[in-house]
């Protein structure tokens, strides 16, 4: 008699994903009209925004990692990467590219660093915690100017986003420990995968192929989460725009920016959190990327939660200390 509830729980746990995916398929049929519009919007967003802004960076990063730029930056940046982040100077490449390009570039570079033995596993996990960030074009251009209609808001969010990223990197310098670690433990890639005039065509085609695979993966996530958000809205399961932002930041922040409220500062602070956290959609994208390596998702998850919280705190402090940043009506 007492074993039936336990047996039911075990069966439910075993078939959890089957039930979820079945419900998703049913909802696609029930809300097909809304889903069709959502999928079209998702594809448009991917084709007109994601591909132009990310794909060239993906190809450029793939090519740059086949040159000596990583070692060059490593020698220059060793003096601050090591004491601040407890990472070899080579990690500066991931930090810089992650800041200027946007999600999920930082995670992709950390994974590539691990696969090419450029940094150790612990160092790559530290990189994973703070180098996967929203890009300045998205924060200032899309969020600040297009969504909130104010450049100052975009610049404020960018500054607090970068400060929070650096803070997370400093705190995660204590992530695990490495015994007998020296600054020259790991060498860069062997000459056979360095770009030369003789293998330029091969390297270029490989870079484009790898970048295409990643950009299509991102497109798939954009479309699926556009559909999920449409179902949640149409069914009335989730109507709070703040909760929608946890799933997918672009649609979530867009909804928040259009809220009719006098307390605009609260919307800006929560937007700062979402930009730092990245949303479940980006989390799953990163998980998909690092599945090709032995890196753990835990430092990324902890780091992005901390990033969001710190970005929100820094934004609140800035709004509280500087009256010209208070946009409340």
Q: What is the pLDDT of residues 142-179, one digit of tens each?
A: 899 988 989 999 999 999 999 999 999 999 998 887 65
Question: What does residue 104 show for φ and ψ, rounded to 5 degrees?
Answer: -105, 40
226 in a structural domain: yes
The candidate with the shortest Cα–Cα distance to 300, out of 132, 85, 102, 178, is 132
Residue 94 lies in a domain: yes
Is residue 4 one of the residues assigned to a domain?
no
Q: How is residue 320 written in tokens?
A: 């509280």
Q: State how many domains the chain has.
A: 1
Please give the chain's pLDDT, 329 residues, in tens.
455 665 556 666 777 888 888 999 999 999 988 899 989 988 988 888 788 878 888 898 889 888 888 888 888 988 889 999 999 898 999 999 998 888 888 998 999 889 888 888 999 999 999 999 998 988 998 899 988 989 999 999 999 999 999 999 999 998 887 655 544 444 444 445 788 888 889 999 999 998 999 899 988 988 998 899 899 888 888 777 788 888 888 888 888 888 887 788 999 999 999 999 999 999 999 999 998 889 999 999 999 999 999 999 999 999 999 988 888 75
In our burial notation (b when 16+ CB lie closer than 10 A, e otherwise), range 90-113 reads bbbbbbebbbebbbbbbbbbbbbb
- In 3D space, the residue among 154, 136, 152 whose CA is nearest the CA of residue 144 turns out to be 154
Q: What is the DSSP letter of 32?
A: H
C-alpha distances (whole Å) from 152 to each of 50, 54, 158, 222 are: 24, 24, 10, 28
- Could you tell me where the beta strands, DSSP code E, fall in the chain? none
The answer to whether residue 106 sits within a structural domain is: yes
Q: Is residue 183 part of a domain?
A: no
CA dihedral 173, 296, 95, 65 (to 10 degrees): 130
Check if the beta carbon of residue 166 is closer than 8 Å to that of residue 130: yes
What the block records as the tokens of 37 is 């519009």
Residue 180: inside a domain: no
Range(s) of the domain holding residue 243: 34-174+189-325
CA end-to-end span of the chain = 62
Summarize pLDDT for 288-301 with one digit per residue, the tens: 999 888 999 999 99
């Amino acid at each position: 008699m007492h074993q039936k509830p336990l047996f039911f729980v075990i069966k439910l746990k075993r078939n959890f994903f089957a039930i979820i995916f079945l419900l998703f398929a049913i909802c696609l049929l029930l809300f097909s009209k809304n889903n069709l519009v959502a999928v079209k919007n998702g594809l448009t967003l991917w084709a007109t925004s994601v591909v132009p802004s990310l794909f060239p960076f993906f190809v450029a990063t793939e090519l740059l990692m086949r040159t000596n730029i990583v070692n060059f930056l490593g020698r220059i940046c060793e003096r601050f990467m090591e004491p601040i982040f407890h990472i070899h100077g080579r990690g500066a490449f991931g930090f810089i590219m992650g800041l200027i390009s946007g999600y999920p570039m930082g995670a992709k570079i950390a994974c590539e660093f691990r696969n090419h033995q450029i940094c150790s596993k612990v160092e790559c996990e530290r990189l994973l915690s703070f180098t996967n960030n929203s890009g300045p074009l998205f924060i200032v251009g899309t969020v600040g100017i297009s969504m909130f209609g104010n450049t100052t808001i975009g610049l404020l969010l960018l500054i607090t986003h970068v400060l929070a990223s650096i803070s997370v990197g400093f705190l995660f310098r204590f992530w695990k420990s490495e015994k007998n670690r020296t600054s020259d433990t790991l060498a860069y890639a062997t000459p056979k995968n360095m770009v030369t005039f003789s293998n330029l065509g091969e390297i270029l085609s490989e870079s484009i192929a790898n970048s295409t695979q990643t950009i299509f993966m991102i497109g798939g996530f954009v479309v699926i989460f556009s559909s999920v958000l449409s179902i949640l809205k149409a069914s009335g399961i989730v109507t709070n725009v703040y909760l929608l932002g946890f799933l997918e930041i672009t649609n979530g922040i867009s909804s928040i920016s259009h809220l009719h409220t006098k307390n605009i500062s609260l919307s800006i602070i929560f937007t700062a959190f979402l930009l730092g956290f990245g949303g479940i959609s980006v989390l799953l994208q990163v998980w998909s990327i690092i599945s090709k390596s032995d890196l753990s998702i835990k430092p990324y998850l902890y780091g992005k939660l901390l990033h969001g919280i710190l970005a929100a705190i820094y934004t609140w402090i800035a709004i509280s200390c500087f009256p010209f940043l208070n946009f409340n009506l």
